[in-house]
Amino acid sequence: MKTGRSILISAVLLGSAASAGAEPKIPAEGEAKLRIEAVLAEMQRNYGGTMVCDPEDAGIDSPAFVERYLEKFGTPGKSMGDYDYRFERLLARVSEYPKALEDARLDEPVWKAYEQFERSQPGKTTYQTGNVVHSLDSARDLFWIYLGTHAEGIKKDAERRKAWMERLLAPASETEELARSFAALQLVSAIQKGSPALVVMDLEKDAKLPAGRGGLDWFADKVKLTWTLWGADPESLPAPRIDELPSGKWTTAPGIDQESWSEPRGDFQVSYFRPVGQRDSYYGTRLPVKLDTKGVFFLPVDGSLQIWPKKDFRAGVICMLRTAGFLTPEEAAAHAEKRGLKLLEITARSAK
């Protein structure tokens, strides 16, 4: 393992960067512990060279490092630039060496960092210095990766499953509940095998598509799924609108996606990308702070396209968690009652 004399000396001079705050639950000993403390001390000075350049390392590519890193840097401070840079470095590192996130003992540290970010910076995806607007890397992006990594394990472990449902479904502000609802759908989506992209491209711009059940049949057939509609009359749905959708890095083409039934189109995405000016690729999330109530939301679950009205988005999320096995029927009813929601009923299914 590469340690480097200067790094170890800096750790001795600056002291243990993880000494303050909660006692870590994930042990680190010997050379790995020194390595972790040294790199944390570097990042305290906003020097990320070791995290950028060094190969895989038993110290800094470990759950113990992630836990201590989040304890040290997980709370947004006065400088969003510092916060952004430190999460940029962590996200880049764990995307290259993902085993660092594969430990269930990180549930609480990852949740704590996410919760602190969303409460202090709700929905924020950029920050400004002077006249320059920067994209913001944050605990939300790490949280999204973490849920995708652990979705199967959370579902199988009753204690973890209940703890995560309490976190994601607890009554909160409107903005927080919306963000956590999307996070809950990430759990559902992450356990689906081979779910298709809900996009149909290369259409005639002026093609006339059917409204109601016919439009749903047409779309579901194109993406090779059945469909299930919750809480709405299928004949009340308009014909899907053909929109200009991204077809390449800089190009668009006529197509349909789940937002083609909504007006205006929702603005949210989770993408795997390389941000301009940065070295590494990792997930970035952009989610709405407010969801327009006109239209429907789509999600593939167990081979069927689940569809429900956006005005009942939060109730639909609980139904999806129940359908995917993250909630029992009794738990779903209890969570809905706690949040003052009425669970949706299935109102129509595809014939196939």
**Model pLDDT for residues 63-102, shown as the tens digit of each residue:** 999 999 999 999 998 899 999 999 999 999 998 999 999 9
Residue 228: count other Cβ atoms within 10 Å of its Cβ: 20
For residues 205 and 345, state if they share a domain.
yes
Mean pLDDT by groups of 10 residues along the chain of 352 residues: 37 38 86 96 95 94 98 94 95 93 98 95 88 91 94 98 97 90 94 85 88 95 95 96 84 91 75 46 65 87 94 96 98 96 97 82
Residue 169 lies in a domain: no
User: Is 155 domain-assigned?
Assistant: no
Residue 108 domain-assigned (yes or no): yes
Q: Are residues 325 and 238 part of one domain? A: yes
- Residue 41: how many CB atoms within 10 A of its CB? 21
Report if residue 186 sits inside a domain: no
Answer whether residue 286 is part of any domain: yes
Residue 38: give the domain boundaries.
Answer: 5-118+136-146
Q: What is the pLDDT of residue 175?
A: 87
pTM confidence score: 0.87
Judge whether 268 lies within some domain.
yes
Spatial strand order in the sheet of 346-349: 296-301, 304-309, 226-230, 346-349
- Asked if 245 and 337 sit in the same domain, the reply is yes
Residues 206 and 341 in one domain: yes
Q: Give the 3-state secondary structure of residue 132.
A: strand
Instruction: Judge if 313 and 224 occupy the same domain.
Output: yes
Asked if residues 59 and 22 have their Cβ atoms less than 8 Å apart, the reply is: no
CA distance 309 to 301: 16
188, part of any domain: no
**Please, is 281 exposed, middle or buried when counting C-beta atoms within 10 Å of its C-beta (0-12, 13-18, 19+)?**
middle
| Bridge partners of residue 228, in order along the sequence | 306, 349
> Is beta strand 304-309 parallel, antiparallel or unpaired with respect to 226-230?
parallel
- Domain match, 207 and 285 both: yes
Domain-embedded: residue 157: no
Are residues 108 and 21 part of one domain? yes
Cβ pair 239, 208 in contact under 8 A: yes
Same domain, 211 and 339: yes
Residues 6+ apart with CB under 8 A from 282: 91, 92, 94, 95, 141, 145, 272
Distance of alpha carbon 6 from the chain centroid: 37
Q: How many domains does the chain have?
A: 2
CA dist 47 and 57 (Å) reads 18
156-193 pLDDT per residue, tens: 999 999 999 999 999 998 889 999 999 999 999 999 98
Three-state DSSP at 114 gives helix
C-alpha to C-alpha distance for 306 and 319, rounded to whole angstroms: 10
Name residue 308's beta-bridge partners. Answer: 297
Same domain? 235 vs 319: yes
Same domain, 203 and 141: no
